[in-house]
Amino acid sequence: MRSQFRKDLILIASADRNWGIGYENRLLKRIPEDLKRFAQLTRGNLIVVGRKTMESFKDAKPLPDRVNVVLTRDRQYQCPGAVVVHDLEELMSAISGYPGKVYVCGGESVYRLLLDYCALALITRIDAAFEADTHLPDLDSDSRWVREETGQWQQSSVGISFRYDTYRRCGG
């Protein structure tokens, strides 16, 4: 069965210098330009998030204009307007026939579980180090990934330097 699992997922995240992605179920830094880009990329597509990530969204509701899939081990969890799945098999079954792009949007455990099924990683690198309790794997030191594009550093309206980097899975 696993051989039939999709291998074209797109990981999308923002990470600081230490690959930190969050602290106490919040983004390390809200960068308006990055949030706008995230919305533009994911709108009209499918996103996969964990329960805690879903609960971090405004009013803990699914993002509009997207198919929201929540991956959680909690079999009692319900999220009106989202597809709730409980393991990798259920997730892959739920997304197998989806014709659009599938974005993996966190959190840490979802990123780690699905990294091997991602062909692309769109990483907003933040030129700062924050206190973080969740992290992405360091794709720069993972031989299975190559940084295909390194964005130009830019200054956000909130005074943070960031850039957009694109990673591609080797051989994929």
Token pair of 94 as six digits: 């739920």
- Beta carbons within 8 Å of 40's beta carbon, 6+ residues apart: none
Mode of pairing for the β-strands spanning 46-50 and 67-71: parallel
Q: Are 118 and 105 in contact (CB under 8 A)?
A: no
pTM equals 0.96
pLDDT, one tens digit per residue, over 89-148 is: 999 999 999 999 999 999 999 999 999 999 999 999 999 999 999 999 999 999 999 999
Cα gap 8→87, rounded to integer Å: 18
> Could you report the per-residue pLDDT of 117-127, keeping only the tens digit for each?
999 999 999 99
Domains of the chain with CATH codes: 2-169 (3.40.430.10)
